[in-house]
Amino acid sequence: GENVEQHPSTLSVQEGDSAVIKCTYSDSASNYFPWYKQELGKRPQLIIDIRSNVGEKKDQRIAVTLNKTAKHFSLHITETQPEDSAVYFCAPRVGGNNRLAFGKGNQVVVIP
């Protein structure tokens, strides 16, 4: 199945603090794990991705960690800024297929 869940649905953080959002999935064949950012009225944009043979990947203030055994991966944003306010979607690739299965999204609000 493609059960993809994101928690928490909404997260408010003070500017400068860290934000962590978690995605759980059910398809054990999934092998590619991207995070997309979508601002209001805009298109989703890839911010970071990880493959199943890697446990962690970092890009400046953003990192993704993967626990394949537990079937979850998390997005970490450090030193949050107001422009980080957006909806973040995890979208694991369904195994054996090129489709991405998007979660319902996490609304992140950075309070200045």
Partner 1 sequence: GAGVSQSPRYKVAKRGQDVALRCDPISGHVSLFWYQQALGQGPEFLTYFQNEAQLDKSGLPSDRFFAERPEGSVSTLKIQRTQQEDSAVYLCASSTLAGGYNEQFFGPGTRLTVL
Strands 10-14 and 72-77, sheet pairing = unpaired
Say whether residue 86 binds partner 1 (CB under 8 A): no
User: Contact region for partner 1 (CB under 8 A) — 11-19, 46-54, 63-71, 78-86?
Assistant: 46-54
Q: Are 90 and 73 in contact (CB under 8 A)?
A: yes
Output DSSP code: residue 78. -
Q: Which residues have C-beta within 8 Å of that of residue 26, sequence separation ≥ 6? A: 1, 2, 3, 4, 71
3-state helix, strand, coil in the chain (%, to 5): 5, 55, 45
Nearer to partner 1, 34 or 110 (CB): 34
For partner 1, the closer of residues 5 and 13 by Cβ is: 5
**By CB under 8 A, is residue 103 in contact with partner 1?**
yes
Among 31, 57, 71, 109, binds partner 1 (CB under 8 A): 31
Which residue of 19, 91, 108, 110 would you call a contact of partner 1, by CB under 8 A? 91
Residues that bind partner 1 in the complex, under the rule CB under 8 A: 31-32, 34, 42-46, 49, 51, 89, 91, 93, 97-105
